[in-house]
Structure 1
Amino acid sequence: MTVADLSPLDDPFGSALRGRHRAFARTHGSALAYQPDVSVFYAHPRELTAADFTDLATLAGPDGLVGLRDRRGELPAGWSVLEVFDLVQFTGEHVAAVADPALTRLGEDDVPEMAALIEETKPGPFLPRTIELGDYLGFRDPATGTLLAMAGERAKPDGWTEISAVCTRPAARGRGLARRLIAAVAAGIVGRGDLPFLHTTADNPACALYEDMGFIHRSTVPLEIVRVPERTH
């Protein structure tokens, strides 16, 4: 059995933006970011210097927001921390990946309904072009066609694909839809020769589901949402 190379997951968005997602990348010096209508995520050195912060500020723009993952180094004057999350990373080398023909493949025409589901359930950011990052599956009410639940793919660091946007309408919870969607998205990932992983926050009750499905906790690091000052020097 081949041992999975975990090193790309140390900087998953950087690995993706330098590799399979480079078509979506904006770069300035040491800083990388997705195009602003694709994803909110940035990549940066763990040990940040003044020059690195200047690069991040150039990409974000004055008064812009940047997510700093496991930052080392002091924030420059004028930068402010708005929120801090405990970002949990799970790997899914041993998760059962099961295709599910009852699920619907979602496309660009579905984005408004997907965005409405994201707004209702708030699993994390989903922008107009996020769907371009990978495959998305949904479960629709057989009677009405309403999108009740969905999950899809986000970052694609070398050898891995992130499962993201896992969400279910409150009225449809308790039916195992999230489990089915995660297993089906994982089936597509494994079928391409990748391994699944995912991120969540430490306070998310879904952590219990992920662990029950066989996902393995790999790390918990701080994710800071910081604001760039209106003027940088």
Structure 2
Amino acid sequence: MARRYRSDVAPFAALAEETAECYVALQRLLMTKDEVALLSREPLHPIDTLHATSIGPILQMVAVRRAIEVDDEGIVRLDRGDVGDMIELAQRTKPGPFGKSTIEMGSYIGVRDQGRLVAMAGERMQLDGYVEISAVCVDEAWRGRGLAARLMNILRKAIEQRGDTPFLHVFHHNTAAIELYERLGFVSNNSFLLSRLSVARSEQEDPRQTAG
């Protein structure tokens, strides 16, 4: 009735349907201080066992044009040895959630300048026939050089060669990113509301019960 990724991989959860039983099943998957993100088409109804915070509207975009050929000189393949640098870059640029095991979800590539990771992008959710491009981010000092577009086109080419279609998610207010994605051949496909869920205070353990 409910599923979630491991917390070190991705914050996302899902319900089979929006019913009290499914929400209870999700609550059972959460530790006291856990938080998960949930996409929905409508605002969430009040939930007794969970605390919900609205994060904002999310736009889902799907590629309708094939990727163009781009130069891959200077593009490096990222692996688990790069995770520390990837988390640091994500914290500086805030492309969305990125954990220590997010790299397990797919292929990640990047650009380094004198050893410092200054740009990256990769694959996150993989569904039947579709692969999500995520963690597209560029250090502020390196913006305006087309790095995000290059990284995305390289990823898209590989995804398309496997017979899949690239898609992505972006906040409605991030107009600069939306304009870039539209230039690369992505179009709006769906719109969702993103909410953060955690265990409601009444469901959390009373600290007096475990004191001293």
TM-score normalised according to structure 1 size: 0.81
SS of 2:189's equivalent?
Answer: strand
Q: Following superposition of structure 1 onto structure 2, how do residues 149-160 of structure 1 map, counting pairs within 5 Å? A: 149-160=119-130
Q: Within 2, Cα distance between the matches of 1:78 and 1:55?
A: 10
- Any gaps of 5 or more consecutive residues in structure 2? 205-212
- Structure 2 distance, partners of 1:43, 1:100, is 38
1:69-116 Cα shifts (integer Å, max 9, x gaps): 116562222533323211110001314243543211111111101110
The structure that has the greater radius of gyration is 2
Which residue does the alignment assign to 1:58?
A: 28
Q: Distance in 2 between matches of 1:97 and 1:58?
A: 46
Give 1:220 deviation, angstroms: 1.3
The secondary structure found in structure 1 opposite 2:121 is strand
Cα 1:98–1:230 shift into 2, 3 Å? farther
**Which has the larger strand fraction?**
2
Spell out the pairing of 1:52-201 with structure 2 (5 A cutoff): 52-70=22-40, 74-77=45-48, 79-98=50-69, 100-102=71-73, 103-141=75-113, 144-201=114-171
The structural deviation recorded for 1:232 is: 4.0
Contact 1:87 1:222 in 2 (8 A): yes
Q: Given the two structures, how large is their TM-score scaled by the length of structure 2?
A: 0.88
- Percent identical among aligned pairs is 39
Point out where structure 1 has 5 or more consecutive residues left out of the alignment: 1-29
- Indicate the RMSD between aligned Cα atoms, in angstroms: 1.8
The answer to whether the 8 A contact 2:70-2:153 is kept is: yes
Instruction: Check conservation: 1:82, 1:226, Cα contact below 8 A.
Output: yes
